[in-house]
Amino acid sequence: MAFQRVGILSIGEMGYHWARLLAGHGVEVLTYTKGRSDVTRRRADNAGARSVPSLARLVSESELVVSIVVPSAAKRVAAKVAKALLKAGRRDFLYLDANATSPMTAREIERHLSPSSANFVDGCIIGGAAKIGKGAVVYVSGPQAARLLALEESGLSVKVLGPEIAQASAFKIVYAGLTKGLQGLLVELLVGARKLGLLDEILQQYDKSFPGLVEKVGPSIAGLALHAARRAEEMDELKRTFRHYGLTAVMAPASEKLLKKIASLNAGEASDTGERKGDILETLELFFQRGLLQEK
């Protein structure tokens, strides 16, 4: 049976598109915005989400709470939800962490939630925010993961990866290494081509050698103006995952370093509606003009 009331923490770009889709299917979306930025509050209003005055109210009224924040906030948010659940005395509650985190972070979230009555589902989202309901997939894992299939009645595409917590996190973090790695490699080389006066020529040759690659990665490069810091956090999670399993990641730290340099340009401005601005060429030019990769 479809969920009637879903809590979303928080209404960022991805949260906005979830909220709009769910609301469009008759689901009441709740959120809690204390301590959040003005743009997140405005996005919550624009998405039709009802802001409640406390986390205790959010967990009391929602059948499911979904955490869609930034990787570095995922544990903190879960710990606060666990505290609110104990306060509210809520039973049979579902909590989905949909952030791109390491398997170790997923297990820590499970530990945070275990004193409460939460049924924790580990999850991740593959596909851009604007593709929610149009091809993006929510992968889930854990003993209660199949309960999330009810979201399909509200327009989301959900796939159960398996019965173990951390399967979905592991899957996403390895996937994220490819997308962020491609973004980083292309940004670096295309900034170099711009400097050498060969941008159009190299783009044509890339397209000849790897048809569709730049076109496919382009929109996520435009998204870097705003999301580089969060994506750098994902590469930190990937690096730590490899270390935890006795492997040395070489590419992930390099992607992380470049993403941090992009984040330090402060080149993006979040929109009230979760829409992205710009294309790959405008974004590369902006990065170039702001001195990305230029030796001092």
- Contact residues toward ligand NAP (CB under 6 A) are 9-15, 36-37, 39-40, 68-71, 73, 76-77, 99-100, 125, 128-129, 227, 230
Taking CB positions, which residue lies at the least distance from ligand NAP? Answer: 12
> Which CB atom, from 124 or from 203, has the smaller least distance to ligand NAP?
124
Do the beta carbons of residue 172 and residue 180 sit within 8 Å?
A: no
| Min separation Cβ 78 and ligand NAP, Å | 10
| Min separation Cβ 293 and ligand NAP, Å | 24
Nearest to 118 by CA among 148, 96, 103, 139: 96
| Min separation Cβ 1 and ligand NAP, Å | 26
| Min separation Cβ 217 and ligand NAP, Å | 13
> Which CB atom, from 37 or from 114, has the smaller least distance to ligand NAP?
37
Nearest to 93 by CA among 56, 129, 126: 56
> Which CB atom, from 11 or from 187, has the smaller least distance to ligand NAP?
11
> Which CB atom, from 97 or from 199, has the smaller least distance to ligand NAP?
97
